[in-house]
Amino acid sequence: MTPSDLELAARNRYNAIGDPHFSTDMIMDIIYQACLQMSTESMIIEQTYSTTSTLAIREYSYPTNAMAIRRIEYNGKKLRYSDLEDDPKTSINEVSGTPSCYAIWKQELILYPTPDTTGDTIKVYTYNRPARVTSSSVLEIPEELHMDILDLILSVMYAKDQNNVMATYHRNLWEQSLVRIKRHQMKKKSGDEFHVTKDSDFVEYGVIL
């Protein structure tokens, strides 16, 4: 569905077609709010970015709208997350070579050792926040979740008309949707794997890989 489709569906349910009391800009803001809440609570917007290395350059821009890094690969090899402290095995002060680790500082990715080659592929897998929503936007959240947004829209519409009973009813449905989405996303990430406790050596930057 497009944002305009969601707006029309909400207006139909509320019997508010053409009602200037509920502007299109207001409804687009609610849709953005819904997408933002879904993405921050359940990490449902996944993106992959690619760039290339530059000789002697170790800092690379953090991907646009990324909230968290899931994985970084350098020429197809997974890099290990580390911090900015010197480590005898992977010192950030190593002069140059093929990167084996990365750190994050002030919205920059820092690779080390510093790349000694121009043109190597750097691939970054991220969980993203959504872009702002307009009537012509393509929603970034999965299509099967689009209709859940209606409950948040209707809750705000009823609240604006001071119908607290119906506002609370739809707000509760929205909150239930968030719980269901989070549960579904956890199952999706596990896929066909057995549920096991992983060793701490495999926990990278707050995300279990």
pLDDT, tens digit (0-9, with 9 covering 90-100), for 116-170: 999 999 999 999 999 999 999 999 999 999 999 999 999 999 999 999 999 999 9
Q: Is residue 199 part of a domain?
A: no
Other beta carbons within 10 angstroms of residue 101's beta carbon come to 21
Q: Is residue 197 part of a domain?
A: no
Domain extent at residue 85? 46-128
Q: Is residue 56 part of a domain?
A: yes
Q: Are residues 169 and 99 in the same domain?
A: no
Q: Are residues 85 and 11 in the same domain?
A: no
The structural domain count of the chain equals: 2
Q: Is residue 200 part of a domain?
A: no
Rounded to two decimals, the pTM is 0.80
**pLDDT tops 90 at residue 206:** no
Q: Is residue 206 part of a domain?
A: no
Comparing CA positions, the residue from 78, 80, 107, 106 lying closest to residue 92 is: 80
Q: Are residues 9 and 56 in the same domain?
A: no
Q: Are residues 71 and 104 in the same domain?
A: yes
Average pLDDT across the chain, whole number: 88
